[in-house]
Chains A and B, each alone.
Chain A
Amino acid sequence: MTNHWVDIKNTDLVLIMGGNAAEAHPCGFKWVTEAMQHRKAKLIVVDPRFTRSASIADFYAPVRVGTDVAFLAGVINYLLSNNKIHIEYVKNYTNASFLVNEKFGFDNGFFSGYNDEKRSYDRSTWTYQMGKDGFAMVDETLQNPHCVFQLMKKHYSRYTPEQVSKVCGTPKESFVKICEMIGGTSTPDRVMTIMYALGWTQHSVGSQNIRGMAMIQLLLGNMGRAGGGVNALRGHANVQGITDMCLYSEVLPGYLGSPTDADPTREVYLQKRTPKPLRPNQMAYPQNFPKWHTSLMKAWWGNAATKENDFAYDYLPKKDGAYDVLDIFERMYQGKMNGFICQGFNPLAAIPNKKKMGVAFSKLKYLVIIDPLHTETGEFWKNFGDFNDVDSSKIQTEVFRLPASCFAEETGSFTNSGRVMQWHVRAVEPPGEGKTDAEIMASLFVRIRDLYKEDGGAGPEPILKMNWPYSNPTNPAPEEVAREFSGRALADIVDPKDKTKVLVKAGEQLAGFGLLQDDGSTTCGNWLYCGSWSQAGNNMARRDLSDPSGLGYYPGWGYSWPANRRVMYNRAGADPSGKPWDPSRKGIAWDGSKWAGFDVPDMRPDAKPEEHVGPFIMTPEGVARLFAVGLMAEGPFTEHYEPFETPIGVNPMCPTNPKAVSNPAARVFKGDMEVFGKAKEFPYAATTYRLTEHHHFWTKNSEANAIVQPAQFVEIGADLAKEKGISNGEMIKVRSNRGEIKAVAVVTKRIHALECDGKKVHTVGIPIHWGFVGLAKSGYLSNTLTPYVGDANCQTPEFKAFLVNIEKA
């Protein structure tokens, strides 16, 4: 979330699309009802199903699964053609005025630079025109045909209400009504918020769904404001924290890009990741990258990270390709992996194509499961009849299962969706011989390190020299670890403006990332979390409920990264002269000598408004990007592509280009493309979803939850049930081109057939919560059905739009 949970109460309009907060995030959804009751805010819900959120909405409209990009592109077109944009905001805080490379273009489904064989783009034309002064060129009148604003107008003009209705199946009148409601927040005194979740991310075009919405919020001037922002509602209590700690291949803690084979030295590595400002006076905050990275290396390799050895740069592994989950399991499926460790993760159920996953695991030599609960992955080798029909004797994988603690049995911090880190304390011991994840990881590490000490082995230095300063090396205290990632000074840090003044003494915890250094004099395991444990103590454990603004910032509750800031980009919540757009919802303002207010300024505190320092300090331009320079895989503007399994078989936006039916830049492995289903055999659009009584695949192990939702079901609309002669409560078979499941049919009026491109499209809803392990009735893993393809940028699997057929079982 760019904003935070309580902030939703400050909005005038809530759009829930790509999520179902009333069902999946009920206690956060309460802030929607708060806004509706006390601010008279309106709620719009757009979803393929009439959801619990829809049931209290002021306005609901259906949309076909996998067509949200087209819907949002239609909204952009409406805003631009009806002048429902916040023009002063757009001119000053976005790249609308920037001139784009004249060779950039778009034609019949492809942006310039497409390579059909590689299924990827050469993005060299998706750039700015650069002036002789080294800065990007702009046209502040927004009239130049190559400026972003004019290119946008042209690109989105194709998304008329009629076209949106044809692609999405949303009635035209409903679509226009929603556009009018959204357009109403383009004035400075009105703000809209958007709440989305997996309904937007789990698509082959997931990143573009979210990007489309970010563009809308920028056009409306709703970013950086109380009651606004783009708000992702995330799935686990600490999925945000683990993302920030970067337990994935592309990045190191704090989103620092991982070194690759193309970064042979520290110098090259840093140079590529340290941008220069693209416009005069801009902060281009990632210029500090060397400070963040060097401090991380000091945290990991301590005294062994020296200036002489490039701060142990070579100790970090370099990546030679993609290593996202889809890629990892493809490697495993091909027999290229020997071992695997699953910590609190159930991939047999959570990664698409269960059959492929089972085969992949069978090829491992060893598998280690670290989990508080029994999981299907841990028992992939066991026969559970139709639910998991395997021959144990033929599976040669050695499987270890280690008992881990759950939240109640550990001390530490979780980071919520609103970026607030909160400390929790152990209440009981884990049952049996259970241990915390931290103790298990530390004990394994110490064992392995001892083996390398005694026997030697391949590349031992990074292991032997790892900084491991914990009082109990096999069970580091959470407090020690928290202090390490927050960071401290290793030498006195002096004020750069007055060298006689010591800002922090050696050994002291740092107050914030502004103090980090690139010369090895600071250590910090995650620059974004710097200050969470300052010299004042554990800020994550703070429980101060004062709220001077009345807007729900609660600055003394926990610690909100970055820098305890509660609303990101809050400089954009004030006009160019520094006055809040809406004084009744002030975040920060220019007080004549500095930026100050209720929140921590997202701006250099002494940056005078007349210096025109842009509010989006993480871009080298200082402004937000309506045109994504060089970053997105499938295009700098959003464009509709069908799901890989499309019920209409054609992309209505470019019907004559068969190569741009689905995302032309999405990666598809050999063998997976072949098992995509076609509408002729699998005519119904399907989507997976979650229920309020269950949490993913955990709560089927909890008796209370297993009682309230005991058995697997599939939801179909009354009109489809009638066509197929299926009655409520009957067992049905649901088949995709990868497998089939049997479940009870729940016939509802919540799903209706939609008319798309002249075809009638039915939707089948598949809740995901059952499996063959647990206290609920055994069921099929829903990923038996889902396709093995992900978003072109981040490889999030396409669980929300695929094809099935159904019949009576």
Chain B
Amino acid sequence: MDMNRRQFFKVCGAGLTGSSLAMMGFSPQTVLAQVRNFKLARTTETRSTCPYCSVSCGVIMYTLGDSAKNNKASIIHIEGDPDHPVNRGTLCPKGAGLLDMIQSPNRVKYPEVREPGSKEWKRISWDQAYTRIAKRMKEDRDKNFVAKNAAGVTVNRWNTTGFLASSAASNESGYLSVKVARGLGMVALDTQARI
């Protein structure tokens, strides 16, 4: 006789027969007193930093689904890192909503272009995007690059295309961005730090 926990109680509830059933050797299999698995038990923990204000709270991101081939991991939960010396596991109302920012329906997902005069976006490939943007930048640079100023001083600047850099980007991204911008001769360069 095979019986699960619920059925066993049902049978027991039916009356005295329950105890006699057990006596006759029809005892249920060993059961675990557990309702369901802890949700985060099979997740991967990744430590990170909240991207909002500069308290830079430590967070732990819990991902599922990263152990199978051709399966993209997704974050199912984010909480404060209890080991972090500044936030000690806490998060504010902004940080508590992090998952919804990462998974916002308003994420940009594909390269797009809005053609001059158009009322809508059009999806393009990365290759098309890079090709068109690089061409635009080179055209403008070639036309407006100033090698020497009126006094004959080498100035090597390009000031007709500007760049605003993200303060949400990592130091590594920021360093690469400034290296590229300065290498191209850009001087119209700024960031959120200003405001």
A-B contact count (CB 8 A): 496
* Alpha-carbon distance between A317 and B157 when the two chains are bound, in angstroms: 5
A343 CB contact (under 8 Å) in B56, B112, B115, B177: B177
The answer for the CA separation of A325 and B182 in the assembled complex, in Å, is: 17
Query: How far, in angstroms, from A531 to B86 measured CA to CA in the complex?
Result: 23
Would you call B37 an interface residue if the criterion is a C-beta within 8 Å of the partner chain's C-beta atoms?
no
CB pair B170–A410 under 8 Å, yes or no, is yes
Q: Which of A27, A300, A429 contacts B91 (CB 8 A)?
A: A27
Task: Tell me whether B155 and A320 are in contact (CB under 8 A).
Answer: yes
Q: With A and B bound together, what is the CA distance between A699 and B95 in angstroms? A: 10
B52 proximity list for chain A (CB < 8 A): 236-237, 695, 698-699
The residues of B that contact A382 with a CB separation of less than 8 Å are 119
Contact B75 A408 (CB under 8 A): yes
Contacts of B145 in A (CB 8 A): 458-459
Number of B positions contacting A (CB below 8 A): 121
Chain A hits for B188, CB < 8 A: 249, 323, 328, 331, 337
Known contacts A237-B53, A478-B170; A403/B185 CB under 8 A: no
CA distance A346 to B95 in the complex (A): 21
Q: Is B160 an interface residue (CB 8 A)?
A: yes
* Cβ–Cβ < 8 Å partners of B92 in chain A: 26-27, 692
Cα–Cα, bound, A452→B54 (Å): 40
B residues 85-130 in Cβ contact with A at 8 Å: 85-88, 90-119, 121, 126, 129-130
Partner of B163, one of A341, A415, A794, A797: A341
A233 engages B53 (CB within 8 Å): yes
Q: Is the CB of A702 within 8 A of B179?
A: no
Given A239-B192, A242-B166, A400-B133: A485 in contact with B108 (beta carbons within 8 A): no
Asked if A320 meets B157 with Cβ closer than 8 Å, knowing A366-B133, A425-B48, A481-B175, the reply is yes
In the complex, per-residue mask of A449-463: 1 if CB is within 8 Å of any chain B CB, else 0? 001100001110011
Chain A's closest residue to B63 (CB) is A427
> B55 interface residue, CB < 8 Å from A?
yes
Contacts of B172 in A (CB 8 A): 412-413, 438, 476, 478, 481-482, 485
B49 touches A797 (CB 8 A): no
Q: Are B185 and A482 in contact (CB under 8 A)?
A: no
Q: Within the assembled complex, what's the spacing in Å between the Cα atoms of A180 and B40?
A: 53
Given contacts A341-B163, A462-B156, contact A238 B136 (CB under 8 A): no
1/0 per residue, CB under 8 A from A, across B48-81: the answer is 1111111111100101001000001111000010
- A466 near B183: Cβ-Cβ < 8 Å: yes
Q: How far is the CA of A324 from the CA of B164 in the complex (A)?
A: 10
- Chain B contacts for A578, CB-based, 8 A: none
Q: Which of B8-62 contact A (CB under 8 A)?
A: 44, 46-58, 61
Inter-chain contact B136/A237, CB cutoff 8 Å: no
Residue from the list A30, A247, A404 in contact with B165, Cβ < 8 A: A247
Please choose the segment from A184-192, A369-377, A498-506, A620-628 that sits at the chain B interface, where 4 or more of its residues have CB less than 8 A away. Answer: A369-377
Please determine whether B182 and A338 come into contact, CB atoms closer than 8 angstroms.
Answer: no
Contact check: which of B87, B181, B194 meets A796 at CB < 8 Å? Answer: B194
Interface residues of A in 1-48 (CB under 8 A from B): 5-6, 24-28, 30
Contacts of A641 in B (CB 8 A): none
Assembly CA distance A366 to B168 (angstroms): 23
Given B48, B90, B169, B195, which contacts A30 in the complex, CB threshold below 8 Å? B90
Whether the Cβ atoms of B177 and A400 lie closer than 8 Å is: no
B191 touches A241 (CB 8 A): no
**Which residues from chain A contact B157 at a C-beta distance below 8 Å?**
317-320
Candidates A341, A436, A458, A698; contact of B101 at CB < 8 Å: A698
Q: Is A142 an interface residue (CB 8 A)?
A: no
**Bound Cα distance from A652 to B125, whole angstroms:** 61
User: Is B180 part of the contact surface with A, judged by Cβ < 8 Å?
Assistant: yes
Which A residues lie within 8 Å of B56 (CB)? 237-238, 414-417, 420, 422
Interface presence of B2 (CB below 8 A):
no
B15 to chain A, nearest CB (A): 52
What B residues does A249 contact at CB under 8 A? 187-190
Quick check: B107 and A27 within 8 Å, CB to CB?
A: no
Chain A residue numbers with a CB within 8 Å of B107 are 372-374, 403, 430-432, 434, 701
Query: A489 near B: Cβ within 8 Å?
Result: no
A227 in contact (CB, < 8 A): no
Q: How far is the CA of A442 from the CA of B166 in the complex (A)?
A: 15
Residues of chain A in range 682-727 having any CB-CB distance to chain B below 8 Å = 692-695, 698-699, 701-705, 708
B195 touches A325 (CB 8 A): yes
Q: Does A604 contact B (CB under 8 A)?
A: no
Contact B116 A397 (CB under 8 A): yes
From known contacts A451-B138, A699-B101, infer whether A392 and B110 are also in contact, taking CB-CB under 8 Å.
no
How many chain-A residues does the 8 Å CB contact rule pick out? 163
User: Is A365's CB within 8 Å of the partner chain B?
Assistant: yes
- A344 CB–B CB distance under 8 Å: yes
Contact with A along B135-175 (1 / 0, CB 8 A): 11110111111010101011111111111111111111111
Q: How many Å from the CB of A289 to the closest CB on chain B?
A: 18
Structural contact, B155 and A317, CB atoms closer than 8 A: yes
- Are B93 and A318 in contact, CB atoms less than 8 angstroms apart? no
Residues of B within 8 A of A400 (CB): 111-113, 129, 132-133
Question: Residue B156 contacts which of A30, A235, A240, A459 (CB distance < 8 angstroms)?
Answer: A459
A199 within 8 A of B: no
Asked if B86 and A27 make an inter-chain contact with CB atoms under 8 angstroms apart, the answer reads: yes
Check B116 against A398 for contact (C-beta < 8 Å). Answer: yes
Across the interface, do B163 and A343 meet the contact criterion of CB distance under 8 Å?
Answer: yes
A247 and B95 contact, CB distance less than 8 A? no
* Cβ B90 vs Cβ A27 within 8 A: yes
From A429, A448, A482, contact of B134 by CB (8 A): A448
B36 to chain A, nearest CB (A): 24
Cβ-based interface call for A554 (8 A): yes
Measured in the bound complex, the distance between the Cα atoms of B57 and A338 in whole Å is 40
Residues of chain A from 542 to 561 with CB closer than 8 A to chain B in the complex: 543, 545, 547, 552, 554, 557
Known: A235-B192, A236-B167. A427 touches B46 (CB 8 A): yes
- Knowing A245-B178, A339-B140, A374-B106 touch, does A414 contact B85 (C-beta < 8 A)? no
The answer on a CB contact under 8 Å between B108 and A459 is: no
Q: Are A339 and B161 in contact, with the CB atoms below 8 A?
A: yes
Distance, CA A382 to CA B114, complexed state (A): 10
A692 touches B155 (CB 8 A): no
A373-B162 contact, Cβ under 8 Å, with A242-B193, A249-B188, A693-B93: no
The reply to whether B161 and A341 form a contact with Cβ atoms under 8 Å apart is: yes
B3 interface hit (Cβ, 8 Å): no
- B193 and A248 contact, CB distance less than 8 A: yes
Q: Select which of A338, A396, A695, A773 is within 8 A of B144 by beta carbon.
A: A338
Asked if A661 is an interface residue, CB under 8 A from chain B, the answer is: no
Residues 208-260 of A at the B interface (beta carbon under 8 Å): 233-249, 252-253, 258
- Provide the bound-state CA to CA distance between A417 and B98, in Å: 20
- CB <8 Å contact, B168 and A237: yes
Cα A639 to Cα B52 with chains together (Å): 34
Known contacts A249-B187, A431-B103, A452-B138; can you find 5 more A-B pairs with CB under 8 A? A27-B90, A235-B53, A372-B107, A429-B73, A441-B177
Mind listing 22 A-B residue pairs with CB under 8 Å?
A27-B57, A236-B168, A237-B50, A241-B170, A242-B192, A242-B193, A314-B154, A315-B156, A323-B189, A337-B188, A338-B161, A339-B160, A400-B133, A401-B113, A403-B110, A424-B47, A438-B176, A444-B130, A448-B184, A478-B170, A703-B100, A708-B97
| 8 nearest A-B residue pairs (beta carbon) | A344-B166, A432-B109, A412-B170, A704-B97, A339-B161, A416-B56, A247-B165, A417-B54
